[in-house]
A and B are shown apart, each in its own frame.
Chain A
Amino acid sequence: AQTVTQSQPEMSVQEAETVTLSCTYDTSESNYYLFWYKQPPSRQMILVIRQEAYKQQNATENRFSVNFQKAAKSFSLKISDSQLGDTAMYFCAFMKPKRGGADGLTFGKGTHLIIQP
């Protein structure tokens, strides 16, 4: 079974700073997908970024980028030029592709990120 660990329950940074959220995972699979989801106080979880394990290049989406270290099983999220709207719970999630079926996500416990004005 896969496990996902987010070791930072809460982080707080000033607006415009850069912040890195850590995530490690444990799996024996070689092919898998990793995600960061954001859950603002309004509750809906929103996809932030997606990484395919077989791609060495780190995914980026505007101010959001990841540092994917497959050997170390690490998948950290970097938020540049943080904004007040980035305040949310951030969840790291793992997906093992299931041939012909629907793949459940394994989530970490989340990091509560607070952006201070």
Chain B
Amino acid sequence: EPEVTQTPSHQVTQMGQEVILRCVPISNHLYFYWYRQILGQKVEFLVSFYNNEISEKSEIFDDQFSVERPDGSNFTLKIRSTKLEDSAMYFCASSEKVSPGQPQHFGDGTRLSIL
């Protein structure tokens, strides 16, 4: 069964550095998402992406964050000038959305640790 793949599985970065988290969505999916889960807290929506542009973003997704689909397969989340509070699990998801309410398929996540 096709899967969403995320790399790396664990990223350790110094505070203030830039980090790029990578995702390969399921190949025929057109809708892409990033979520984060701070340890012990709920999964939070960051941003959704469709047709090469941001579709929706949450309050969390400020100017520090950006997303990109640099080629036909990858979907990246960039965090500029990381802060300690950016430490979290980051999940990528994708969906087909041939009709409303299609479920999203999640990757294994990237654990981001900011030191």
A residues with a Cβ closer than 8 A to B are 32-33, 35, 37, 42-47, 50, 52, 91, 95, 97-98, 101-110
Q: Which B residues are CB-close (under 8 A) to A98?
A: 55-56
| Identity of the chain B residue whose Cβ is nearest the Cβ of A31 in the assembled complex | B100
B residues with a Cβ closer than 8 A to A are 31-33, 35, 41-45, 47-50, 55-56, 58, 89, 91, 95, 97, 100-101, 103-109
What is the count of residue pairs linking A and B with beta-carbon distances less than 8 angstroms?
A: 71
Is the Cβ of A101 less than 8 Å from the Cβ of B108?
Answer: no
Q: Which A residues are CB-close (under 8 A) to B47?
A: 104
Q: List 18 A-B contacts (CB under 8 A).
A: A35-B103, A43-B108, A43-B109, A45-B91, A101-B48, A101-B55, A101-B56, A102-B32, A102-B49, A102-B50, A102-B55, A102-B97, A104-B33, A104-B48, A104-B56, A105-B35, A105-B43, A105-B104
Instruction: Other than A45-B106, A47-B105, A105-B35, give 7 A-B pairs with Cβ distance below 8 A.
Output: A45-B91, A47-B104, A97-B100, A101-B55, A103-B56, A104-B33, A104-B45
Is the Cβ of A108 less than 8 Å from the Cβ of B101?
Answer: no
Q: Which A residues are CB-close (under 8 A) to B58?
A: 104
Is the Cβ of A44 less than 8 Å from the Cβ of B109?
Answer: yes
Q: Which B residues are CB-close (under 8 A) to A35?
A: 103
Most buried by B among A32, A91, A95, A108: A95
Among all A-B residue pairs, the 10 with the closest Cβ atoms: A102-B48, A33-B101, A104-B45, A101-B55, A102-B31, A102-B55, A45-B106, A97-B100, A107-B43, A109-B42
